[in-house]
Amino acid sequence: MYTPEEGATVAVGVITGVAVGVAARGVRVIFAGEARMPARRMLGYVVGTSAAMSPTGQAAFRGHEFHYSDVRLLPGTRYAYRLTRGSGIRDGLDGALRDRTIGSYTHLHPVTSRGMLAHFVDCCRE
């Protein structure tokens, strides 16, 4: 697997909301890892909480997830969401987090995520 050095350029593929890196020129990796298209697709509802250190702040949420891909991110990847229902990226974790960027299979329901969305907007204004 290619692991970019700081300042290296790579191509980014966005697969169901998660950008993974492939060696190339001109674009930086957001989340380094591997993605593949599995034979089976997964759809479902999610329930979880977001971490205080994420751009969405700490809060409970509901939503749904679509898995048309399988993403394996590098060890040490930080995650913004812990799911009590749903699969996420791995082991009930979703919302890969890098700086103020979140890549997730989870699609938040706006009514149950109002506080998270307001926190995110405030974070963007900083």
User: Domain residues of the chain, as ranges?
Assistant: 36-125
The domain made up of 36-125 has a fold known as: Rossmann fold (3.40.50)
Length of the chain: 126
Give the pLDDT confidence score for residue 28 in this predicted structure: 61
Q: Find residue 79's DSSP bridge partners.
A: 96
Give the pLDDT confidence score for residue 63 in this predicted structure: 92
**What percent of the chain lies above the pLDDT cut of 90?**
25
Mean pLDDT throughout 98-111? 85
Of 40, 98, 95, residue with least CA distance to 67: 40
pTM: 0.74
What span, in angstroms and rounded, lies between the C-alpha atoms of 65 and 34?
19
Contact indicator for 59, 116 with CB cutoff of 8 Å? yes
What span, in angstroms and rounded, lies between the C-alpha atoms of 32 and 53?
21
Q: What distance lies between CA 16 and its chain's CA centroid?
A: 9
